[in-house]
Each structure stands twice: as structure tokens, then as C-alpha cells.
Structure 1
């Protein structure tokens, strides 16, 4: 097994993945957790279970009006957050003070008022509002801002307050910032409605994000995350720089299921960074590798750290198309990180771990059927069923994995439900999703029953089912805690989106960017890139993308860029803003875990993730990179882009069969730029130049002369 800096096997570390993930909050935007005890601890635990269960029930069994559903989604999360997160500073108090309980009560009152006055609010919001409408809206906006401040730091709430102030003082501002002005009641009730706080960002969070966070929590409780990391170490641990390569592969799992790059870094970096340090990677490199790898997980389909769901909600593009389009750019990003890791290992003569310290690969392959929930999820998505059906039945099959774990049976018994699902889809196409789901679950329980009778485990069934029930409750509570920040940032981003829509700021920004594009499109794209990066600094990716999608993406679309390309452009820069100085929170978290200089770590993480700064421009000029167009064009663009990524990595590392002088690094960069350009002639020039450079490293002039 790979071992940490204290010689502890990594398998023992991965047994504590979830405890590590929970500790991520101390790095993540300054979140401060109260050590609750007594009745408040029991209340929060019960509310956590109810919160996740409520979402599963509404999405699958008990439909509810959208406004009421979203109000409960936001305000119930706020109640939990006001109890769990301390008001200021790191709290040692074991109970929430009265004012936090009062805030929770106010959140409940806001929800009750919306439910009670629903029919009237639909008619009069923003037009004929009553005094109580205005009071509830004002209190509700305050609650959302305070909720976001506690769970996600100051950056997003400050930005929301700036936009709220802009909504009030806009009539006195010059130029592009001017708007006609609005009454206080008109303004607040509009923002605290389905056009603002409870708009598209909260819709994505309530309908999809909580569902997939719940799915991820079940995977974590069922130890599927451990399997991912151990498989990565078994496959790559012996290679040169093996622990770093394993970290790159294993971090994808943590990264794709969370909307927080910082939490991803801590969840996997707590045990990968010490192992990277042990084989010889410098502290800053170990922290930067983990930051770049974990951040990139939010670019990885099918979940993309919740970004895919918000993109589908905003653009109307089917989720499956977005997930498919994300595959080539994600592969290019991880190719760049992998090449950097490999070149640094060559430069520093870093070897892998001994076989004796690594998990055994072949026995682990017997555990591959623990991936049943992921297989179920993908089967439903590929066959065109809804995201909700796919996620819900993925959660249901995760219960089978929990049962198998408690029975300690061979995981191959879980092959039966997966085979049944695939055969049912192939042989009986067109059935309702629930029919396939029930067949999968029933066949799974039957298979585990046969396995129990065959293997005769000694554990009593009463104890087994009790432990499974406890695991289910643990996963539901865990999911609600992991959803708090996402619920907060989506609601707070809704304030900004609502102000932009009400004041027309997005249209005026689009006009401004179009005027810039009239001079030079590339300058306009660079401006859009900088805006997306700045918006993302200091706030979670989900909020950064939601805001950029409201301001920047429409501007790009008015320049003639396709919606999918425009939204992927801003999404990529929103994601990598967490490793971009000066506020590179994911890189800073990696530096903290590695004991490295934060600035050095952040600049290295940018270098490792350099592909994500370049590839988005291909979305605009060559959308084949997003699987759009003829198959041969897609192959050409993706292949040449992959070669370009390799050459950029060589140039930035300054190493290829030995150290490169400055001229060689410049020439490799030129060859890469030609390949990125994507035209047939520029590709030929780039390939020819690259071939000459590679030949010169294999056959230097001195050797040829001999």
C-alpha cells in the first residue's frame, strides 16, 4: 500500500475519506463549524436527513409547486446553516445563540408566507406588491446574503450587495451603468422571486445539484471513492512519479461530484500530497499537482461539479449534449497535467513506489462491481432518460452496495443487477425509467439473497439491516451538509442575476463588448476571459459561472458565437479561477496541506493547468473540440490540439530529453500555437516544426557529425 509521511498505509487513509472531506470546510472560504451537542446536534442531524429525503421525494413522488419547492430548498438549508456555522470567527460554543435561531425562524416564516400567499404573489410580485410582500422580500434577501457569507465567505455576498446598491442608485450613474430606477418595493419583490433568488440558478440547485450531491454522498459512504483512489495507485503507483499520476487520476472522482475546488483538494490531497512528498516531489509541486487535478474534476463529465446542470438550465441545451461535448476538453486538460507531472518526474529523477506498498491490482478488479451506481447512472443517461431518473436510481442502487458491504459478500454478486439493467434496456427498449429501476433493484436484492445463502456470512441479518439503515441516514445527512454551500451560492447568485435582468445591465455590457469586438474579436474574447476569471476569484465555481453566464455569455452570443461554445468558454475560466493568482483558493489549500509557499504553489498550478487557459479559445474558433461537426473534423482538431498541449507542456517545463534553452522553448511554443490554430496549413507548419525539434533532441548535430 502507498504510505503517508508517517508510514501509514494509504488504504487506511482512504478508509477515512469522508472524515477528511468534512474537514475540508476549515479550508473552504473560511467556513466555521460549531461543535454542536445536545438537542441542537440532534435537530441538525434530523433536518439534514429530512432535507435530502425531501428533495428525493419531491423529485420522484410528491410534486410541489416550483416556487414553494425552491423556497423550502433555500430556507431549510439556511436554517441548518445558521445553526451549524458560527456567526463570526471560530466558535468553540457547543450551541447556536438565540439570534441564529431567530434567523432560522425568520427563514421558516419567509417560506410559509410564500406558500400561503402563492397565488397572489404570482400576480402581484414586482407590480402591485403589498407591505408584507416587501417586508418578507427584504428579510428574505438579507437571509440569503447572510447564509452565503457564512458558508461561502465574503466575496459573493459583497458582490451581491454591490449589485443591490446598483439597483437603487443606477439612475444617478453615468454611461453604461445608467438605468431608469425602481421603487424599493418593486425592486425587492422582483429580486426575491422566480426572476431572482428563486430563478434559474436555484432551480438547478434544487432539481439537480442536491440530487447528485446525495448520489456522491452515497458513493462516499459505500467506499466507492476509496476504490477509485486505490485503483489509481494500483495502476500508476509504480510508474515514475507514480503517486502524482495516481493523484491526477483519483482526483477526478472527487472533483466531478463537488462544486467546490477547495473541498476537492482537501478531500483527496490529505493523503495524496504526503505520498507525493515522500517519493521526491517538492512541497510546492505536490500542492500544485493536487490543486490542478482536483480543480479539473469540475470539468469532467458526466457531473462537472454541478456546472453541467446550470448550463443546461440556462441554455436549454440537453444535459447529455453538454456532458458529451465536455469529453475532449477534459481529456486535453488532464493530458496537460499528466505530461507536466511526467516531465517533472524525469527532471528530478522521481521514481514510483515499491510494489509491496501498493494495492494489489488483480484482487481489486474483483471489487469493480462496487461501481454499480455509476453504471446505473450512465446507463440511464446514455439511453436518454431524465437526469432526475438517472440520479435517483443511482442512489437506489447505491443502497445495494451498502447492503453488500455489510454482508461482506463478494462484489461480483452485484454484477447481476447491472446485467439485468443492460439486457432490459437492449431487449425491452422504451419502457418507463421506473420499470428498469425496479427490475434492477429487485434483481439486486435477489442476487444478494442468493449470495448470503451461498456464502453464509456470520453477521446477523438484524445487525446488517440496522447498519444499512444507519449508513443511509448518514449519507442523507452528509449530503445535506455538502449541499449547504451550493444552495447558498446559487441563491445569492440569483440576486445578481435578478438585478442584471431587471436593470438591463447584461444588454448594455453586451453592446460594450460588441464595440470592442468591432475593433478586434480576440481582444473582446480576452476581455471576456478576464471578466470570468475575476468573477471566479474568491467564490465557488457554481456562483462564478452563474454570474458570468448572465453577463459574459450573452455578449459572446451576440458576437455570433454559438451558445454551447460561449457558455463553455466562460465556464472553463470560472473553474480555473480557483487556481489563478492572486486569489487562488484551491492552490492555497494545496499549499497549506503541503506546507508550501502559497504563491509558488499557485503559479505552478497555473502551469500544470495551462491547457485550460488556451483550449477555451478553440471552443470559439473550432467548435469541433466540443464534438460539433463531422467526425473527421473532430478527430483532426482533437488530435492536433493534443499534440499542441504536449508541446506547450514541454515548453513550460523546459525539458525534453534534457534541459531546453530559451530558443527551443520558444520554438516549441510556436509549433503549439500553429497546431492550436486548427487550419490545415497551420497544422502542417506546426507538425513540421515540431518534428524538426523532436528530431533535434533525438539526433543532435554532434551525433550526426560522428
Structure 2
């Protein structure tokens, strides 16, 4: 293949990835308009940081500006369709911009009256604002996240008008159009709990991810993964698993995670002999699962806390063990496949050294600050803000060419100053300013004063571009949260959510196992083709209440549907994360998605443990949790054995079936099933060793 053909294939793959990522295609505008858009985007991010930390405004007004100003950025900077040409913003998009700003101005000007009359007494202005504002949200979501969610939202909107003529549980008494749109464009629907979560946390943590990557921490993660696992059997696949765990938590898009790390890990896997479909599948499964990883969980933890009222700290602690089991399961499956295919690792001489990595360990300062403040009980916003501030210290250190050991003092200050009794924002500000001053003084002492102006200019440029990029990368999540609010609002207004729960319980009868299976299927189908956060928000409104009516705890029910929302990204026929992995690897989409399911099979099984063994969510005594976790570890090993057919050599079909049975028995986690599962597992291991046992010598 010549270079031109290879370049054409790479361009085609990038185009395919752009479609799968569904974050829209950026316009190439005239220079003046590009500068204005960049400035507006940076100010949009700074506006959020200001409101979250020290500028108090009305919650409804803040949410309206959060959605509508984001829509303005999308209508100016994102193409209305893929084939759009030209460098100008079309007139219809300017009309959408005016509409978004006009709806915001109407809410601000009539705030007090709207609070009193929303959904009850509707004026003509309320109706026009609600209808046009809903149109803005639908087009915003279509432009940056694709057609799936807007179509679902339109189906629910149409249900309001056709419901009086529908049969059975779908029938409702009807609603007036003006009252409905007034209700929809309120804090009961579009600006309700989903936008509440996105307005408080999304920009902050997307900015944290953007600046963390700019600081070089992302490269450090990859080097650490390479050093730990690169030389082992099938090493690049294990590097992909570990990097997926580290990278995936912050993003709410499985496809974005695949694109971010897969462009590096997939070529490595191909180099050592992974088939194309396997390389794409490993990356898809591990990148999708990153959203299960605390402390951010792809923004899912914040939304779950908003919907359920469960403290955020409880959610991330409950998510820790299932996430660990999921990644151990992928790791073991990758290892068994590497054994089956005879895959080796990367030569140790080509990998980073541990001594070098140890010298750079303080590049992880932002993550350490974030985790420390979160685990110490401080607010999510404070932890995210000062985690973000600490990324600037890492960037300054890098620009001045200091070793990361210089950052030991900032870490000490961030840990100790809050303990003095200072309010956390004051403590964070003091720690940041003292640390920056210390780095400047050290620059003078080392005779590098001439480097300082250049470093500061570079920092200013990085902050400006980083703020703009944070806004752009947040648009998809903001739009889908607003659009999901339409669905949640209709469910609440019509009572359809409760009636659907009753229907699910009726179909399942007295079988809780069947109810959970139906809930999983429905949640996965609802999530296909959508970002995880939107898929979870809808499933939480439709499916989770039915599980709670069966006596399942709110935490277990919502964690169940959240897992289903995550795995919808690797479930055919719309396995968007697997298709993205296939595009990078040059493999076939369907075989890649089927293999991704095989690698991520634990995510299809573990949610049922939330019902059979809630101790895995730390709901119970710690000895029970330890017991359940231990038996689950054995179970996922035998899941890998069953999937890859490797147990002290090639396992035949009966052994694989027995391995799967042992795994199921152990995951059920009762005394009798544990005894049966462990006995079967021990028997299988003993039997398999006959294949490798040396022959007895004749006497």
C-alpha cells in the first residue's frame, strides 16, 4: 500500500470517527468571527467558574444561561449538517441565536411572575417562550449529539397531544398546549434535575480534564501503564485496559474516550499481533468502562446524586468494588486471549523506566488534590475548582523546565491548610498563590528569570485556549441533559413513568429475576446511540422506579440502570464505542462489537449482583462485603476462562461450560451456591492440570 492510499484510509477512518463521536462538525469561519467565538467560549467557561464559587445568581436564571449560551456557541461554531459549505453563519442559525438569547432575556425579565404561574396560568409570552425555547433545545441536541435523543424527545412531546386517544395505560386526560410548553420550559422539565447536575459540575470537570491533559498528566498515565504492563504477555492490551480506567472517568462520552486513547493503544496492539477486531474491542470495552470509575464516573455520579438525593460520597464508594471487578475481568480476559494467541509484550528496553516515572510522580498533583478534598468531605465544587487550579501549577512547573518534585510543597499546602480551620476556598487560594510564588522565587534563584515572561505568556495562551476547549467539549453533555429533561418532564407530567413501572411488574409477575432482565434490556435499548449521561437520565426516570417498587434500594436500582447505560455503547446493533474502535483498528464493526461484549461481559453480569449481593455496593457488614468480593474475583477468572478457552492449556467445550456454570454459582453468592461453585472450580483446576503434569517415570 502506498502513502497516498494509506492517507486516504486514515482520512476515511477519521471521518467515520467524527460521525460516531456525534459532537458535531466545527465550522471554519472568517478570522474575526473565529476570534469572537473563541473569546465568547472562554468567557462562557469563566462564567460558570465564577457562579459556582463566588457570584450568586438565581438558580433558574443560571440554568437558562447555562443551556442557551451553550446553544449560541453551537449555532455559530458547529455546522448544521455535515456537508455544509462556506465560512459564514447561515441566516437560520442567526435566528436561532437571537431566539436563544431572547428566551433567556424573557425568563430574566419575568422571573418573579413565572415562578408563581408556570404551568398553571400561561400568558401568550410564556407560551411563545416555552415553544421556541424547546425548539432551541431540540436543535442544540441534534447538532452536537445526533438525531437519536431529539427524536425520542419529540415522540414524548407528541404523546402529550395524542395521549387522550391512546388505549390502556398510555391514555391520559390531555393538556393544553400553552400550559404544556410553559411547564416544559421550567425547572420541572428542561431546567430540572438533569440540567441542575450539568450546570453545577460539567464545565468544571470537563475543564479539569482538558487542563489535566495539557499539563502532561495524560502522557504520564500512558507511560505508567506501559511501564507496568507493556512487557507482560499481550502487554499493549493490558495497557489499554489500565489507561481506560485512568482516562475514562472524567468524560461522559464512550466514543470520546476511545478516540482519545485508542489512537495510541490500538496501533501498539496491532504491532504485537492482536487481530484488528480484538484490538478495537479491547479499547472499546475498557474506554466505555471508564465511566464506571470513581470519582467522576463520566458525570454519572453527580446526576445520580441529584436524582436520588444519595450523598455523592456514598455513590463513589459504592461504585468502587464493582468497577474494580469489571477491570480485573477485562484484564484477565485479555491475558487469556494473549495466552491463546501466543502474543508477547513490548521489549523492556523500549519502555519507560520506573526510576524516571518516580521522579515525575508529582505530575499527578491535580488528581491527588481532587481526591483528597473529595474524600475529606469538602464540596464537589471546591474539590474540582482547586484540582483545576493545581493543574496550572503543574503547567507552570513544566513551562519553566522544573522537575515535578518542586510540586511537593503545593501538595503539602493543599493538604495542611484546610486542616487549620480556614474555609476551603481561602485555603485553596492561599495554597495556589504561595505555590506559584515559590516557583517564581525558585526561578530567580536558579538564574532562569529570562524564561519567566515567555512561560507566563505561554500559560496565558494555554488558559485561554483551554477555557474555550472546555466550553466546546461540554456542549454535547449540556445539550443531552437539557433534551433528556423533556423526556423526564413528560414522564412526570403524565404519570407515564409510574404506569410503566406497574406494567413492568405485571409482566415480570412474581419473578424478580425476570424483572431485572427486562429492566436491563429496556435500559440498554433506551441507551443505544446516546451518550451515557442521557441514557442514564432516561432509564433512571423510566426503569429505576419499577425496581424500587420491588423493594430494591435506590442506590442498587440506579447503579443497575447506570451500568446498563454504560454497556449500551458496546451492545449491537448500535455499539457506537465498538464501531469507533473498529474504525481506528481498520476492523469490521459487527465482529468488533461482539468481541467488545465478550471482553466486557462482566458489565452485563455484575449489575445483577446489586440485587443478589448488595454487599458489593457496601450495603452491609464489611465481612459480608469481603466474602462477596472474594467469590466474585474467582467468578470473573472463570468468566475469562469460559470466554477464551484457556485453563492450563486449551479447554474443550465441556470445560468452558462448566467454568461458566462455576462463575454463575459464585456470583449468586449464597452459602450453597458458593460451596457448589468453589467445588466445581477446584475440580476444573485439578482436572486441567492433568494436561501439563509431567508423565510418571516407570519403576
| Shorter-chain TM-score range | over 0.9
Question: What are the within-5 Å matches in structure 2 for residues 585-600 of structure 1?
Answer: 585-600=576-591
Match of 1:174 among 161, 167, 177: 167
Match of 2:119 among 115, 126, 129: 126
Which range moved further: 105-114 or 414-423? 414-423
User: Are positions 1:205 and 2:221 aligned together?
Assistant: no
1:419 is aligned to 412
Deviation at residue 662 of structure 1 after TM alignment: 1.1
User: Which residue of structure 1 aligns with residue 638 of structure 2?
Assistant: 647
Residue 623 of structure 1 pairs with residue 614 of structure 2: yes
In the alignment, is residue 78 of structure 1 matched against residue 71 of structure 2?
yes
- The root-mean-square deviation of aligned C-alpha atoms, in Å, is 1.9
Deviation at 1:32, TM superposition (A): 2.2
Q: Counterpart in 1 of 2:294?
A: 301
1:21 is displaced (CA, Å) by 11
* Deviations 1:442-462 (CA, angstroms, capped at 9, x unpaired): 331243134313433375322
1:240-271 Cα deviation digits (max 9, x unpaired)? 11111111111223211111000110111011
Aligned to 1:256, the other structure's residue is in SS state coil
CA distance in 1, matches of 2:502, 2:351: 58
Task: Report the secondary structure of 2:243's partner residue.
Answer: helix
Moved more, 299-308 or 363-372: 363-372
Which among 351, 355, 362 is matched to residue 344 of structure 2?
351
Task: Give the Cα–Cα distance (whole angstroms) in 2 for the partners of residues 358 and 405 of structure 1.
Answer: 22
Structure 1 Cα separation of the partners of residues 87 and 347 of structure 2: 46
Kept after mapping to 1: 8 A contact 2:17/2:580: no
8 Å Cα contact 1:343-1:655 kept in structure 2: yes
Partner of residue 397, structure 2: 404
Identify which of 660, 663, 668 aligns with 1:672.
Answer: 663
Shift of 1:333: 0.7
- State whether residues 195 and 485 of structure 2, in contact with CA within 8 Å, keep that contact through their aligned partners in structure 1: yes
Give the CA deviation at 1:24: 6.0
Partner in structure 2 of residue 538 of structure 1: 529
SS in 2 for 1:90: coil
Task: Provide the residue aligned with 1:33 in structure 2.
Answer: 26
Q: 1:311 to 1:702 in 2, by over 3 A?
A: closer
1:11 maps to which residue? none
Unaligned runs of 5+ residues in structure 1 are: 7-19
**Which of the numbers 246, 250, 256 marks the counterpart of 1:257?**
250
Q: How many residues were matched structurally? A: 687
Q: Aligned residue for 2:87?
A: 94
> Structure 1 residue 390: deviation in Å?
0.5
**Aligned residue number for residue 451 of structure 1:** 442
On the 8 A contact 1:264/1:295 being kept in 2, the answer is yes
Structure 2 CA distance for aligned equivalents of residues 334 and 459 of structure 1 = 47
Partner of 1:99, secondary structure, is helix
Q: Does 1:216 align with 2:221?
A: no
Separation in structure 2 between the aligned mates of residue 671 and residue 484 of structure 1, nearest angstrom: 46
Aligned with 1:186 (options 169, 175, 179): 179
User: Could you say what secondary structure the match of 1:194 adopts?
Assistant: coil
Q: Counterparts of 2:326 and 2:386 in 1: how far apart (Å)?
A: 31
Q: Aligned pair in 2 of structure 1 residues 23, 361: CA closer, same or farther (>3 Å)?
A: farther
2:42 matched to 1:49?
Answer: yes
Q: Within 1, Cα distance between the matches of 2:17 and 2:422?
A: 42
Q: CA deviation at 1:704?
A: 7.4
Tell me the equivalent position of 1:9.
none
> 2-side partners of 1:166 and 1:580: how far apart?
28
Deviations 1:615-673 (A, max 9, x none): 00111121111112111100000111111011011101112222211110111011111
Shift of 1:439: 3.5
Pair 1:302–1:351, CA change in 2 (3 A): same
Match of residue 573 from structure 2: 582
Question: What CA distance in whole angstroms lies between the structure 2 residues aligned with 1:113 and 1:493?
Answer: 23
Aligned partners of 2:133 and 2:613: how far apart in 1? 44
Question: Are 1:299 and 1:330, in contact at CA under 8 Å, matched by a contact in 2?
Answer: yes
Gaps of 5+ in 2: 4-12
1:15 — aligned with what? none
The aligned counterpart of 2:143 is 150
Cα 1:225/1:92, change in 2 over 3 Å: farther
| CA distance in 2: counterparts of 1:34 and 1:346, whole angstroms | 47
Q: Is the 8 A contact 1:149 1:157 kept in 2?
A: yes
Q: 1:394 aligns with which of 367, 387, 392?
A: 387
TM-score by length of 1: 0.95
* Matching residue of 1:694: 685
Distance 1:272 1:26 in 2: 21
CA contact 2:648–2:692 (8 Å) conserved in 1: no
Moved more, 274-283 or 358-367: 358-367
Q: Distance in 2 between matches of 1:76 and 1:485?
A: 13
Asked whether the 8 Å contact 2:221–2:243 carries over to 1, the reply is yes
Which residue of 2 is the match for residue 14 of structure 1? none
534, 549, 555: which one pairs with 2:546? 555
Query: Once the 2 structures are TM-superposed, how far is the Cα of residue 705 of structure 1 from its aligned partner?
Result: 7.2
**Bigger Cα displacement from structure 2, 279-288 vs 243-252:** 243-252
1:518 is displaced (CA, Å) by: 3.1
8 Å contact 2:245–2:327 — kept in the other structure? Answer: no
Q: What do the CA deviations read for 1:381-429 (whole angstroms, capped 9, x no partner)? A: 1110110110011111111112111111111110111122223345x3x
Give the whole-Å Cα distance in 1 for the aligned partners of 2:314 and 2:23: 36
Show the 5 A alignment for 1:267-416. 267-416=260-409
Q: Please, which of 422, 433, 443 is the counterpart of residue 442 of structure 1?
A: 433
* Aligned-residue offset at 1:91: 2.9
- Mapped to 1, the partners of 2:162 and 2:522 lie a distance apart of 23
Q: Which residue of the partner structure matches residue 6 of structure 2?
A: none
Give the whole-Å Cα distance in 1 for the aligned partners of 2:214 and 2:161: 47
1:526 corresponding residue in structure 2: 517
Distance 1:82 1:375 in 2: 38
Work out whether residues 24 and 267 of structure 1, in 8 Å CA contact, stay in contact via their aligned partners in 2. no
Residues 76 and 108, structure 1, Cα contact 8 Å, conserved in 2 = yes
Distance change in 2, residues 1:702/1:344 (3 Å): closer
Change (3 A) 1:459 1:517: farther
Change (3 A) 1:431 1:701: closer
Q: TM-score, length-normalised on structure 2? A: 0.96
Distance in 2 separating the partners of 1:455 and 1:505: 68
Alpha carbons of structure 1 residues 673 and 117: separation in structure 2 relative to 1, 3 Å: same
Instruction: Tell me, in whole angstroms, the C-alpha distance in 1 between the residues paired with 2:170 and 2:497.
Output: 10
CA distance in 1, matches of 2:693, 2:231: 35
